[in-house]
Amino acid sequence: MTTTVKQVIARKGGNVHAVAPDTRLGEVIAMLGEHRIGAILVCEAGQVLGIVTERDCIREVLWKKGYSEDSRVGDLMRTEIPTVSPRESIQHCMRVMTEDRVRHLPVMDDGRLVGLISMGDVIHALLSDQRHMIESLEQYISGSPSLKPPPH
């Protein structure tokens, strides 16, 4: 059985942290720490405009000092971000994340944001799928096939 993005969102929930483009980076950094998350979407009028990650903040604010905590998140956000649909497989997400070198994918359904999945979510689902496949093969070899789906 192959896990879909929809199943991952159902397990973790569709709660997405988002800010407006005028939000100050200091506030975004505080939100990242407070909620223990790695990325925040930048949205306006129901549209995803971009994304800012912990790495972006560390690199650009602390290391390069190209931005300050008073800078607008809209000035730092990355606007070229791949998205996935709830119907995609988790393997597809892994390919996109690897090819585009991203760790977070907004989940869009008919132009509407329905969630955000991370590399950790994808790895968790892949490991669950593999564990289920191994258990099924072991039970098949031993003569008692498994009929239960993998836990999500």
Cβ pair 28, 77 in contact under 8 A: no
Q: Identify the three-state secondary structure at position 92.
A: helix
pTM score: 0.82
The residue to which tokens 């980076």 are assigned: 25
What confidence category does residue 151 fall into, taking pLDDT thresholds of 50, 70 and 90? low
CATH fold, domain 5-142, is: CBS-domain (3.10.580)
**Least confident stretch, 100-104, 108-112, 117-121, 133-137:** 133-137
| Domain-wise residue ranges, the chain | 5-142
3-51 confidence digits (pLDDT tens): 999 999 999 988 899 999 999 999 999 999 999 999 999 999 889 999 9
Phi-psi region of 111 (alpha: psi -120 to 50; beta: other; left: phi over 0): left
